């Protein structure tokens, strides 16, 4: 009997495409994992007029594309998307399904996992795989105080949602080809209980923290909320974004959206400024791809100082004030 071809599926989440690159990032990781298990990388995409996304997923590593293109799928409907995916999974029996931990993915993935009677690891910050195909899903646990390695030994498919920015997308390869299967809409589609009447897109930020070239992060060493807020002056001068540690967020100095680390965002700036941050693993786990780190701390032995390319021993607030003053002077000149 011929052995079944192992397969890793990546669900195509193309909404807000130019800001949301998580599908391309997951395809990159799927390609890496497929080399270990000799698996096929398959992108699955639903919607209407989706040819451009089929081409993108091909160029970014997919070996096969399963596409359902129909006017009925123009607007996202959770019940219908889950039903189509469930039907495909039962027909094709993939080993792994990876989904971005976006608002869309967080609604779609748990519903699908329940229908398939399998497990789901949510908001993963890492993925690995054994030679026999056991997916190792790495996710924060105990409030982000530790990383857990989770496996699903007895149920298939193995499912995980992964935070945007966790992996780097591979370069666009215009000459790649993939086997594209355009599938018909299933005949027994559920009747949607909700209908989209209209939508209005929220105003988009110029950039997201995950894609920012410069990030200015602050910790408790800033002293108080007023001093922490001065970090935004430096960020504006440099065209960057603001990040924060968990104690700062819990203290109400910054919004949760600014949290960097195991329980927050994983960032990859070209330049990272770190003010008053000791360097606990809960924070530094989110800095794996920072290009150049400048750290300011009173304690020269702090873990963050040892990670830095440039370490400045001093009061974070005072150094920040002098840096802003000098930058403004140079800009005027």
Which DSSP string corresponds to 152-214? Answer: -SSSSSEEEEE-TTSSPPPPP-TT---EEEEPPPPTTPPPPS-------PPPPPS--GGG-SE
CATH number of the domain residue 23 falls in: 3.40.50.620
Residue 69 and residue 12 share a domain:
yes
Q: What span, in angstroms and rounded, lies between the C-alpha atoms of 310 and 28?
A: 32
Q: Is 71 a domain residue?
A: yes
For 119-158, how does the pLDDT look when each residue is reduced to its tens digit (9 = 90+)? 999 888 889 998 888 999 988 776 556 778 888 888 999 9
Domain assignment present for residue 278? The answer is: yes
Query: 292 and 257 in one domain?
Result: yes
Q: Are residues 215 and 160 in the same domain?
A: no
Number of domains in the chain: 2
Domain holding 85, by residue range, is 7-182
Q: Do residues 147 and 37 share a domain?
A: yes
Of the residues 182, 199, 225, which one is the last residue of a structural domain? 182
Residue 274 pLDDT class (50, 70, 90 cuts):
very high
Please check whether residues 96 and 242 belong to one and the same domain. no
What is the mean predicted confidence (pLDDT) over 48-72?
A: 90
Q: Alpha-carbon distance 208 to 215, whole Å?
A: 11
Q: Within this chain, do residues 48 and 178 fall inside the same structural domain, yes or no?
A: yes
Please, which residues bridge with residue 136 across strands?
Answer: 128
Q: Residues 178, 213: one domain? A: no
CB 114 within 8 A of CB 159: no
Which among 165, 182, 199 is the end of a domain? 182
Shared domain for 223 and 325, answered yes or no, is: yes
* Residue 204, domain member (yes or no): no
Average pLDDT rounded to a whole number, residues 44-60: 90
Is there a domain that residue 232 lies in?
yes
Tell me if 193 is assigned to some domain.
no
Do 143 and 43 fall within a single domain? yes
pTM, full prediction:
0.68
Query: Does residue 1 sit within a domain?
Result: no
Which pLDDT belongs to residue 1? 41
Q: Distance between CA 259 and CA 252 in Å, rounded?
A: 11
pLDDT tens digits for range 196-243: 666 665 555 555 777 788 999 999 999 898 889 999 899 888 888 899
Same domain, 55 and 165: yes
CB contact set of 124 (below 8 Å; sequence gap of 6+) = 101, 137, 138, 139, 160, 161, 162, 163, 166
CATH of residue 235's domain is 3.40.50.1220
Residues 39 and 169 grouped into a single domain: yes
> Which has the higher per-residue pLDDT, 93 or 163?
93
Domain assignment present for 108: yes
Rounded Cα–Cα distance for residues 293 and 35 (Å)? 33
Q: Strands of 40-47's sheet, edge to edge?
A: 120-124, 158-162, 96-100, 7-11, 40-47, 64-69, 179-182
Average pLDDT taken over every residue of the chain: 85
Residues 173 and 261 in one domain: no
Q: Where are the alpha helices (DSSP H) in 93-149?
A: 103-116
String of DSSP letters for 1-47: -PPPPPEEEEE---TTTTT--HHHHHHHHHHHHHHHHTPEEEEEEEE
* Assigned domain for 190 exists: no
């Amino acid at each position: 009997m011929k052995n079944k071809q192992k397969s890793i599926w990546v669900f195509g989440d193309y909404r807000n495409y130019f800001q949301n690159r998580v599908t391309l990032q997951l395809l990159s990781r799927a390609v890496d994992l497929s080399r270990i298990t000799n698996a096929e990388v398959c992108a699955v995409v639903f919607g209407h007029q989706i040819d451009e996304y089929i081409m993108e997923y091909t160029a970014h590593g997919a070996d096969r594309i399963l596409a359902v293109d129909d006017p009925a799928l123009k607007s996202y409907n959770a019940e219908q998307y889950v039903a189509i995916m469930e039907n495909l999974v039962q027909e094709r029996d993939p080993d792994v399904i990876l989904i971005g931990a976006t608002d869309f993915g967080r609604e779609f993935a748990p519903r699908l996992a329940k229908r398939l009677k399998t497990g789901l690891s949510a908001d993963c910050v890492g993925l690995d795989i054994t030679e026999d195909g056991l997916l190792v899903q790495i996710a924060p646990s105990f409030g982000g105080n530790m990383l857990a390695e989770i496996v699903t030994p007895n149920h298939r498919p193995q499912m995980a949602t992964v935070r945007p920015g966790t992996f780097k997308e591979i370069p666009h390869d215009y000459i790649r080809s993939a086997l594209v299967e355009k599938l018909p809409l299933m005949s027994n589609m559920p009747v949607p209980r909700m209908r989209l009447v209209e939508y209005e897109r929220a105003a988009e930020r110029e950039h997201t923290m995950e894609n920012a070239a410069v990030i200015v992060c602050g910790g408790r060493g800033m002293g108080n909320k007023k001093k922490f807020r001065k970090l935004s002056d430096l960020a504006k001068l440099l065209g960057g974004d603001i990040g924060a540690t968990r104690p700062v967020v819990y203290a109400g100095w910054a919004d949760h959206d600014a949290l960097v680390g195991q329980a927050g965002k994983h960032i990859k700036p070209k330049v990272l400024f770190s003010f008053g941050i000791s360097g606990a693993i809960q924070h530094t786990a989110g800095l794996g791809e920072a290009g150049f780190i400048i750290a300011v701390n009173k304690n020269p032995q702090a873990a963050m100082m040892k990670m830095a390319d440039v370490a400045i021993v001093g009061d974070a607030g005072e150094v920040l004030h002098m840096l802003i003053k000098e930058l403004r002077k140079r800009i005027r000149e």
